[in-house]
Amino acid sequence: MRPQLVATAAALFAGAPDWPALAASGLPLLLVPEASGGFGGDWGDAAAVLREAGRAALAAPLGETMVASKLVAGARASVQQGQGTLAVATGWLTATQSVQRFNGSARGVAWGAAADWLVAGHHGRALLISTYAATAGANPAGEPRDSLVLDAAPTLVLGRADVLELGAFVRVAQIAGGLEAALALAVDHVNSRVQFGKPLARQQAIQQQLAVLAGEVAAAGMASAAAARALDASRDARFEIAAAKLRANLAVARGVGIAHQVHGAIGFTMDYPLQRLTRRLIGWRSEFGGDAFWAARLGQRALALGGAGLWAEMARQGDR
């Protein structure tokens, strides 16, 4: 069924759908069980759809809404699914008088100002928060990344969950698709662009650069798949998600530069689709934890395990 799901999503995303069209497709409820009115898909399905969203440079908080909807459904909370109803953030929240009221702020929330509810992480719990003030912001692609201020905001605890990790999973899948699309554009360009009497693709330096880019695309794709498998196995996926986000971030660091180098000036023009991908990729790299954050998490775990323990843990992860 997953190939049909991916084909349907790709056809939908190709038309640059607005949020009502995405909501009508049912994709925002992909991870919600059928008994709760959702699609009943797994994390592998989500990764596949979000990879297509990244490939299409979809300008919508689809992945965030998938994650938020799953957490809300798991807590049996009632939230009306409307346009921009749910947003996802990662904390900077401080408790005040009781667990049902929070003060604090959240930065860089995708489409946060348009949302009626915010799902945020706080000390390992997922919280559903309403009533907040928003200040508009944007990512490098010009998409909304808003700052939210909570003032004794009503809060519902949805349960134990690391919202940051789930958001990182979303970004890894989008990065995998975005880099894949950038590679496809680069290959098409160097095959059609003739210089010094032959296509750029026949230049050895260009071939080497494309080989490196293809390697980064493959690494990001495998990282996304590994994180999805760990989540679907219903086990502790902290190691896989941390490694996946760090590896995907590094793929962006190398891949974006190569894609633009082989294109030359045309890659930066607004009429050419490459910049639609690379500006989003640059933003996704820093969202839900940048390079230093995930490197520190992996490093802390490695130090805690010690040399022999780290090797044993890596072997166990590889055997699963």
Helix 2-14 to helix 43-55 angle, to the nearest 10 degrees?
30
Nearest CA to 177 out of 97, 83, 252 is that of 252
Q: What is the mean pLDDT of the chain?
A: 90
Q: Which secondary-structure segment (H or E) carries 131?
A: none
Name residue, tokens 């049912």: 26
pTM of the model: 0.94
What CATH number has the domain bearing residue 272?
1.20.140.10
Q: Say if residue 181 is in the same domain as residue 255.
A: yes
Q: Say if residue 176 is in the same domain as residue 153.
A: no
Q: Say if residue 275 is in the same domain as residue 155.
A: no
Q: Say if residue 50 is in the same domain as residue 176.
A: no
Q: Say if residue 81 is in the same domain as residue 131.
A: yes
Q: Say if residue 20 is in the same domain as residue 149.
A: yes
Q: Say if residue 155 is in the same domain as residue 173.
A: no
Q: Say if residue 255 is in the same domain as residue 305.
A: yes
Q: Where a domain ends, among 129, 161, 193? A: 161
Q: Say if residue 129 is in the same domain as residue 146.
A: yes
CA torsion through residues 303, 123, 63, 287, sign:
negative
Q: Say if residue 173 is in the same domain as residue 266.
A: yes
- The string of pLDDT tens digits covering residues 210-265 is 999 999 999 999 999 999 999 999 778 999 999 999 999 999 999 999 999 999 99
Alpha-carbon span 68 to 126, nearest angstrom: 9
Q: Where a domain ends, among 161, 181, 207? A: 161
Predicted confidence band of residue 315 (pLDDT cuts 50, 70, 90): confident
Residue span of the structural domain in which 176 resides: 164-319
Q: How far is CA 286 from CA 125, 140, 172, 279, in A?
A: 22, 11, 11, 12
Q: Say if residue 47 is in the same domain as residue 170.
A: no
Nearest CA to 282 out of 246, 247, 257 is that of 257
- The string of pLDDT tens digits covering residues 130-161 is 878 899 999 999 999 999 988 888 888 899 99
> pLDDT above 90 covers what percent of the chain?
68
Q: How many domains does the chain have?
A: 2
Q: Say if residue 230 is in the same domain as residue 297.
A: yes
Q: Where a domain ends, among 140, 161, 182? A: 161
Q: How far is CA 12 from CA 16, 19, 26, 65, 272, in A?
A: 7, 12, 12, 17, 21
- The string of pLDDT tens digits covering residues 76-131 is 766 655 444 678 875 445 555 455 777 888 889 999 998 888 998 888 889 898 87
What CATH number has the domain bearing residue 157?
2.40.110.10
